[in-house]
DNA sequence: CTTCTTGCAAATAATTTGCACTCCA
DNA sequence: TGGAGTGCAAATTATTTGCAAGAAG
């Protein structure tokens, strides 16, 4: 894997991002620094990183791929209205996984958990209940 | 909401399905019974059902929307190789959710949890480790 | 009848791919 | 220099939408 400026910049954005980030979002950010950057380059690198296990890929509820760094496997609580996000620090699943592996014979290698709801600010805005 | 044959058949497939099922999959099944059925009709009805809370929509790891009936909120353990699926009967999150609502002020209304790994059969097939 | 549904075809949106050119090792 | 990396445009795939015709209440 060669080391190019764009490749490094893409990976940097993933790890810099506050939470899971999409190819388009990275593209928008890096376009300023690299005016000729192609969206396909972003996709190709992200897929590469994910295949090599450098980053994680997940699908957000709107059906878009989002990538996140591996600085600690994280789960999120996201607001369905304003998309604000809070990272959860505990992962209640590690324990459960072992038990499941025994019960089912599967070998589990990853899981995705995301919780959806309304953040305090958005709750206030709609008293239509 | 009017009651049409196709609408009923689509909903039936969702509830009949073993696990989360896609629009294309439903379309393929129902095409035999309704040769003129349009894929857009399947999508429109599924979206309608989901909006009305009749069924749940989630995104599978390949980025495709999959719909599932609400006969018991369920989580799955799916094989990344053969896509076989096992439904988990316990949901370790209800307890956690309450605590999180207090801590964060969010009101949580749904969550998605899926575990990925290799099923026993597929593990055997690849001793390339 | 009158409105909700549907089929069909065309429009979007996200992602992937082919190919010629560029740049790092 | 030689192959990995990139830009660009075109191809795919999943999903959505407009509109005229069909069926349900």
Q: Out of A64, A106, A120, whose CB is closest to B77?
A: A106
**Minimum-distance residue to D6 (CA–C1'):** A41
A95 pLDDT more than 90: no
pLDDT band at A129 (very low <50, low <70, confident <90, very high): very low
Q: What are phi and psi of A117, to 5 degrees?
A: -175, -160
pLDDT score for B62: 87
> Apex CA B73: angle with CA B60 and CA B87, to 5°?
65
Three-state secondary-structure class, residue A110: strand
Interatomic CA–C1' length for residue A27 and nucleotide D6, angstroms: 14
Range with top average pLDDT, A63-72, A115-124, B52-61: B52-61
pLDDT band at B72 (very low <50, low <70, confident <90, very high): low
**Minimum-distance residue to D17 (CA–C1'):** B40
pLDDT score for B80: 58
Q: What is the DSSP string of A36-99?
A: T--HHHHHHHHHHHHHTTSSEEEE-TTS-EEEE--SS--EEEEETTT--EEEE---THHHHHHH
Three-state secondary-structure class, residue A103: helix
Three-state secondary-structure class, residue A7: helix
Please judge whether A107 and B117 are an interchain contact, meaning their C-beta atoms are less than 8 angstroms apart: yes
For A30-78, the pLDDT digits (tens) are: 999 999 999 999 999 999 999 999 999 988 888 999 999 876 556 777 6
**Minimum-distance residue to D3 (CA–C1'):** A2
Distances (CA, A) of A129 to A123, B53, B104: 10, 17, 21
Q: CA A68 to CA A15: how far, in whole Å?
A: 7
Global pTM value: 0.78
Residues at the strand D interface (CB under 7 A)? A 1-2, 4, 6-7, 34, 36-38, 40-41, 44-45, 63; B 2-5, 22-24, 39-40, 43-44, 47, 63-65
Which of B111, B113, B110 is closest to A100 using CA atoms? B113
pLDDT band at B18 (very low <50, low <70, confident <90, very high): confident
pLDDT score for A122: 73
pLDDT band at B81 (very low <50, low <70, confident <90, very high): low
Among B53-57, B62-66, B90-94, B100-104, which stretch is predicted with the lowest mean pLDDT?
Answer: B90-94
Interatomic CA–C1' length for residue A101 and nucleotide D6, angstroms: 43
């Amino acid at each position: 894997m060669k080391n190019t400026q764009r490749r490094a910049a893409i990976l940097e954005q993933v790890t810099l991002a506050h939470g899971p980030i999409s190819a388009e979002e990275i593209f928008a950010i890096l376009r300023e620094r690299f005016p000729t950057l192609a969206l396909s380059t972003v996709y190709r690198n992200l897929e590469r990183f994910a295949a090599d296990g450098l980053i994680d890929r997940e699908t957000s509820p709107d059906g878009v791929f989002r990538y996140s760094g591996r600085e600690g496997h994280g789960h999120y609580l996201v607001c369905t209205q304003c998309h604000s996000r809070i990272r959860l620090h505990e992962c209640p699943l590690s324990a459960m996984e072992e038990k499941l592996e025994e019960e089912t014979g599967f070998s589990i290698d990853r899981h995705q958990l995301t919780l959806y709801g309304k953040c305090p600010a958005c709750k206030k805005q709609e008293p239509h209940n």
